[in-house]
Structure 1
Amino acid sequence: MKNMLHKWLVIIFITYISRSKVKSDENEVKLQKYLFANPDYHYMARPVKQTNTKIWANFSLSISQIVSIDMRNEAVTTSIWPTQEWYDEYMQWNPEDFGGITNTGVSPDRIWKPEIVLYNNVDGRFEVEFQSRVQIGYRGNCLWAPPTIFKTHCKINAQHFPYDEQFCPLTFLSFDYDYTQVEIVSKFSEGDYTGDQYWHSSEWSIMSARTETYLTSCASCLTNNHSAVTVMLHLKRKPLFYSVNLVLPILMVSILTVMSFYLPSECCEKITLTVTVLLSVTMLLLIVSKMVPKTSYHVPLLNMYLIFILLLVSFSLIGKTLFHIQISDF
């Protein structure tokens, strides 16, 4: 008897939960139909009832990971969560009419968005690929935070490589609207640029990040005054790998270079050691040259040091050769 009663209670509970869920889904469908039934609303037009009303778009981002920095091509790849918030005058409802629903999510291709895009990308991808749902509150406040991976241009200063620091900008602007229609407001906090899910890079550390909002123009824009925001990332390289695998061998070759001068000129092994050092320096110079960008603005100090050793060893080898030629003549 107790088992039968227990089974009936479970069945009644499951039925109640199922009905509540169906009722909730019905309210959700009813709300979605209500929001987009307005003939005055179109996802391509700004959601304002007065033409001269400006839309303020709050913008912030959370950095998930510094994926990589391509030194040769001067490009940085980052995984971020850009967040956009704005007010839509048409996306409003009374929660009591829809089962107490206070917020809902809609597909981003059905609702107007501020069209804030990454302007300084290097791969032609201005918008995000993953189209997550836009969250809408019953008072018309909209929030969109799609995760994405961006590849942007970053001017590399390799003068102090591998103990260098880089400043890489991420520039976002409202592409389709000037500042009288849409203006970006930065909600980015300099001390909170990484989220809880931040993955620390094994090569780079984020030292700081600061933002700047301003008006700018772009090649494809209809007007010259578009609202933009730039997030400047201050990155510092973790030099342990290069210290062990590059700087330490260079120091050892430098010691051998000095030791070659202590060998007497009559010693035949002196030329052999000098040639070996010369080849080693040349190889290290090629390795460093392949790591840094092809630019005329900055020459790495490590390159200059290797070139100095290369010249020193070369002149030393020439002098030893001439010395042996003179001895052989006598």
Structure 2
Amino acid sequence: MTTFWFLFLIGIRPILSLTEADLKRSLLSSAVYDPSVRPRINASHAVHVQLDVHVVYIVGLKEKESAFDQACFIYVSWRDEYLTWNTSDYGGLDSFVVQPSVVWTPDVTVYGRLDKRLGLEFGQVRVNSDGVVNTKFLGLLTTQCAMNSAHFPFDYQLCAFLLGSEIYSPKEVAMEIKSVVQLESSKNNPNWNLDNVRKIAEPPYYWQVQYCLQRKSLYLAVLYMVPTFMHAVLILISYIVPSEAGEKISFGVSLFLSFMVVLLQLNGDLPEMSTAVPALEIFFMLHMTSGVVSLVVSAISAYITHNNSQQTVSVNKVKDVSTATTNEKRRFPNVRQRFRDTSFLNRAGFVVSLSLILAANLVMFNAKLKSSGCT
């Protein structure tokens, strides 16, 4: 009995191997099959190619190069009328796998791709007994993305690319994106959130795949906005410091230098493009302007205080003590004399700085409000 089963197993293995080999030779022989010819018996009929795009992972956006990197699956299927057989004639074999160069494959072209080749490089091809051929592209896809940084860091970016055939017309090869699937792993990018992905038909030649990406702004908000708010509080406090104090100007200069340090860090994170001014940059510049106003007011107040003290020393008249202690309000006959009063300058500078700070916050609130999705 053992000898029988041993001979049976030895005998059946070459039969299965020959069956698949015979099938490939009968279908893919150069005498009967040409991989450069469209797989239609009637040449007037189009080859219908179905595409399924699966977004695996969002690598990120290269803002300086306006490039969008993603890892994706693109499943491709079509029907080859020359590759059909009866499964019962080949021991129930209903499919086999070959290299893509052996059979006809559609030239699926990605328009807007930044790589050297626009076409997709397919993996191995599975041929089914009913003539349906399946293959897929798996890899990194780098495409162009026209970015708009007006609402940075609360911005949404709309990235898209086109799929179509470069060689064949729609009457020869009709492509259709059947589905676009967003896998759970595509949400793991630390800087970008894939809000949605959709397909749009652009007849008669192309299909467009659009990605709506939302920037995760928590890191940038904590890194830049929170310290800037702290600087704004210190700028407003600087108006309380008396003009006679010599540290008032040095305090303002220190605040301005700290702004410059943050600005150097900010330049490395801001997108380098001239299409729009980022909201975060406007926010930061308005806060810097309020600091400059505070420093200018402090300098003018110190100058006025210094001049008044010199004029007081040069006067040889001695005022009565009772007159000096009276709390009378001074009235200035014109605006020029009013600007010589340091208290008025401090109040005016406080109002201007506070207005600039509120305007900066309004810019960020407007950017957050308007940036609510991709259009």
When normalised by structure 2's length, the TM-score is 0.75
Q: Which residue of 1 aligns with 2:350?
A: none
Distance in 2, Cα, partners of 1:45 & 1:53: 13
Q: Is the 8 A contact 1:257 1:274 kept in 2?
A: yes
Opposite residue 160 of structure 1, the aligned amino acid is H
Distance in 2, Cα, partners of 1:135 & 1:20: 24
Distance in 2, Cα, partners of 1:28 & 1:261: 89
Check 1:289–1:95 CA distance in 2 against 1; reply closer, same or farther (3 A cut).
Answer: same
**Could you tell me how far 1:158 is from its partner in structure 2?**
2.1
Distance in 1, Cα, partners of 2:236 & 2:35: 73
Q: Which residue of 2 aligns with 1:156?
A: 147
Give the secondary structure class of the aligned counterpart of 1:205: strand
Q: Which residue of 2 aligns with 1:53?
A: 45
**Could you tell me how far 1:22 is from its partner in structure 2?**
4.1
Q: Which residue of 1 aligns with 2:319?
A: none
Kindly provide the CA deviation profile for residues 253-294 of structure 1, in whole angstroms up to 9, marking residues without a partner as x.
Answer: 222222223322222222222222212223333433332333
Q: Which residue of 1 aligns with 2:323?
A: none
Q: Is the 8 A contact 1:156 1:293 kept in 2?
A: no
Q: Which residue of 2 aligns with 1:231?
A: 209
Check 1:213–1:268 CA distance in 2 against 1; reply closer, same or farther (3 A cut).
Answer: same
Check 1:265–1:62 CA distance in 2 against 1; reply closer, same or farther (3 A cut).
Answer: same
1:307-322 matched pairs, under 5 angstroms: 307-322=285-300
Q: Is the 8 A contact 2:75 2:134 kept in 1?
A: yes
Q: Which residue of 2 aligns with 1:80?
A: 72
Check 1:321–1:154 CA distance in 2 against 1; reply closer, same or farther (3 A cut).
Answer: same
Are residues 1:119 and 2:97 paired?
no
Q: Is the 8 A contact 2:195 2:213 kept in 1?
A: yes
**Could you tell me how far 1:116 is from its partner in structure 2?**
0.8
Distance in 2, Cα, partners of 1:12 & 1:37: 37
Larger % of helix: which? 2
User: Which of 18, 26, 31 lines up with 1:26 in the alignment?
Assistant: 18
1:173-252 matched pairs, under 5 angstroms: 173-189=164-180, 193-195=181-183, 198=186, 200-215=188-203, 227-252=205-230
Give the secondary structure class of the aligned counterpart of 2:163: strand
Distance in 2, Cα, partners of 1:32 & 1:61: 30
Check 1:46–1:323 CA distance in 2 against 1; reply closer, same or farther (3 A cut).
Answer: same
Distance in 2, Cα, partners of 1:51 & 1:183: 14
Give the secondary structure class of the aligned counterpart of 2:137: coil
**Could you tell me how far 1:326 is from its partner in structure 2?**
4.2
Check 1:261–1:153 CA distance in 2 against 1; reply closer, same or farther (3 A cut).
Answer: farther
Give the secondary structure class of the aligned counterpart of 1:146: strand
Check 1:59–1:325 CA distance in 2 against 1; reply closer, same or farther (3 A cut).
Answer: same
Opposite residue 68 of structure 2, the aligned amino acid is V
Are residues 1:263 and 2:241 paired?
yes
Check 1:278–1:146 CA distance in 2 against 1; reply closer, same or farther (3 A cut).
Answer: same
Q: Is the 8 A contact 2:63 2:272 kept in 1?
A: no
Opposite residue 147 of structure 1, the aligned amino acid is L
Distance in 2, Cα, partners of 1:292 & 1:328: 43
Q: Is the 8 A contact 1:71 1:291 kept in 2?
A: no
Q: Is the 8 A contact 2:115 2:142 kept in 1?
A: yes
**Could you tell me how far 1:39 is from its partner in structure 2?**
2.8
Check 1:248–1:25 CA distance in 2 against 1; reply closer, same or farther (3 A cut).
Answer: farther
Kindly provide the CA deviation profile for residues 62-93 of structure 1, in whole angstroms up to 9, marking residues without a partner as x.
Answer: 01100111122221100000111111111111
Q: Which residue of 2 aligns with 1:3?
A: none
**Could you tell me how far 1:28 is from its partner in structure 2?**
2.1
User: Which of 87, 90, 102 lines up with 2:94 in the alignment?
Assistant: 102
Task: Give the count of matched residue pairs.
Answer: 308
User: Which of 298, 301, 318 lines up with 1:323 in the alignment?
Assistant: 301
Give the secondary structure class of the aligned counterpart of 1:272: helix
Identity of aligned residues (%): 23
**Could you tell me how far 1:14 is from its partner in structure 2?**
7.6
Q: Is the 8 A contact 2:199 2:209 kept in 1?
A: yes
Opposite residue 163 of structure 1, the aligned amino acid is F
Q: Is the 8 A contact 1:56 1:184 kept in 2?
A: yes
What runs of 5+ residues in structure 2 fail to find an aligned partner?
A: 311-375
Kindly provide the CA deviation profile for residues 222-245 of structure 1, in whole angstroms up to 9, marking residues without a partner as x.
Answer: xxx6x2111111111222222322
**Could you tell me how far 1:197 is from its partner in structure 2?**
5.7
RMSD over aligned CA atoms reads 2.5
Distance in 2, Cα, partners of 1:99 & 1:162: 62
Check 1:273–1:34 CA distance in 2 against 1; reply closer, same or farther (3 A cut).
Answer: farther
Check 1:32–1:257 CA distance in 2 against 1; reply closer, same or farther (3 A cut).
Answer: farther
Q: Is the 8 A contact 1:70 1:76 kept in 2?
A: yes
Give the secondary structure class of the aligned counterpart of 1:147: strand
> Which of the two has higher C-alpha Rg?
2
What runs of 5+ residues in structure 1 fail to find an aligned partner?
A: 1-7, 216-224
Distance in 2, Cα, partners of 1:14 & 1:283: 81
